[in-house]
Amino acid sequence: MQIERRDFLSTLSLAGAATLFSGHSLLASTNPKKEKLGIALVGLGYYSTDLLAPALQMTEKCHLAGIVTGTPSKAEAWKTKYNIPDKNIYNYQNFDKIADNPDIDIVYVVLPPSMHREFVVRAAKAGKHVFCEKPMAPSVADCEAMIAACKASKVKLAIGYRCQHDPNIQAYMKVAKDQKFGKVKMVNSAAGYFDARTDHWKQKKSLGGGVMGDMGVYALQGARLATGEEPISVIAQASTTRPEIYKEVEETMMFMLDFPSGARAACQTSFGINMNYLQVSYEKGWLKLEPQSGYSGNKGSMSDGTIINFPIKSQQAKQMDEDCLAILNNTDLIAPGEEGLRDIRVVEAIYKSVASGKSVRI
């Protein structure tokens, strides 16, 4: 059954490729249902409930087809609210049976980071394309295993970097690419919020908690995307003002990155401070964005008077539609597993720097 499913998926990709050349949809004539890919959300916590499920009511290339949850009461509530048939509802134990379900094309893993690897690998083995939330996983080894599993099953792996689908973020990436103001000299990048929770996975090491993987990847992405380069060394310092809550992981991380061109970045992330901005100083100008990684309203300006303020209805809907188009047309994803891995390489180096108190080469 699994093999038949893969055959079907490769037919889908072929149909998508044919669409590129013929200019009209082969899929539409062969399988009209598959104009919209079916997504199963794994983990029905805050992000699935408040952002992804509502976004899936706006998407054009995919729809909410199934759920995977460990909580039977959530299954009941979601089944009613989103009209999900019983046959598309799984728990963590029977999840692998999803291989036999043609309604599900994509599994979207929205669990605590320590669980990402297991569910991405199981989804890939079931022959499903995979979307995985950030941070991709707690370690480089995990990320590499996830990428390898998806490659082995010939399925795509997209990381939920919604901002990379936001035209306001793409605007500053283009400034770096075009060298509009010359070379980048200095970046200041911050992302944090005050988290009032006192007993959550974000405060537990074993579940992949700590601010660095959580909000820290936004600060890091700000620096990486604004320079268009990968950092070569980092020095970092972790701290907490609430040691009774942040016993196992850091509440705040400050890190400085060096880039090959000579650009430097000072980055901050925290579960104790509301902050969200990006400032870039170039040879011949500057750019500012605040907020830089909001769900909406990311906006800013440049030294030549250019305003960055593109409207966007739903980042998550745009992200999922664009990732589905990449699956249907067999084209490159905006943020594939390799992009998640790039961040986690830096995150690992940051923790090494905290432990040694020294600068670490990446």
Catalytic residue numbers read 134, 218
Q: Which is nearer to ligand NAD, 54 or 285 (CB)?
A: 54
Give me the least distance between CB of 92 and ligand NAD, in Å please: 7
Give me the least distance between CB of 59 and ligand NAD, in Å please: 16
Burial status of residue 334 (CB atoms within 10 A of its CB: 0-12, 13-18, 19 or more): middle
Which tokens go with 266? Answer: 């000072």
- Between CA 195 and CA 224 the distance in angstroms is 25
Q: Which is nearer to ligand NAD, 41 or 257 (CB)?
A: 41
Give me the least distance between CB of 99 and ligand NAD, in Å please: 21
103 half-sphere exposure, CB direction, 13 A CA radius: 16
Q: Which is nearer to ligand NAD, 81 or 177 (CB)?
A: 81
- Between CA 66 and CA 50 the distance in angstroms is 16
Dihedral, 312, 313, 314, 318 alpha carbons, nearest 10: -70
Give me the least distance between CB of 200 and ligand NAD, in Å please: 6
Q: Quick one: three-class SS letters along the chain? A: CHHHHHHHHHHHHHHHHHHHHHCCCHHHHHCHHHHCEEEEEECCCHHHHHHHHHHCCCCCCEEEEEEECCCHHHHHHHHHHHCCCHHHEECCCCHHHHHHCCCCCEEEECCCHHHHHHHHHHHHHCCCEEEECCCCCCCHHHHHHHHHHHHHCCCCEEECCHHHHCHHHHHHHHHHHHCECECEEEEEEEEECCCCCCCCHHHCHHHCCCHHHHCHHHHHHHHHHHHCCCCCEEEEEEECCCCCCCCCCCCEEEEEEECCCCCEEEEEEECCCCEEEEEEEECCEEEEECCCCCCCCCCEEECCCCEECCCCCCHHHHHHHHHHHHHHCCCCCCCEHHHHHHHHHHHHHHHHHHHHCCCEEC
Q: Which is nearer to ligand NAD, 73 or 83 (CB)?
A: 73
Give me the least distance between CB of 269 and ligand NAD, in Å please: 13
Per CB under 6 A, residues contacting ligand NAD are 43-47, 70, 110-113, 133-134, 160, 162, 201, 207, 214
Give me the least distance between CB of 109 and ligand NAD, in Å please: 8
Give me the least distance between CB of 247 and ligand NAD, in Å please: 17
By Cβ distance, which residue is nearest to ligand NAD? 45
Give me the least distance between CB of 47 and ligand NAD, in Å please: 3
| C-alpha triplet 325, 327, 332: angle, nearest 5° | 85
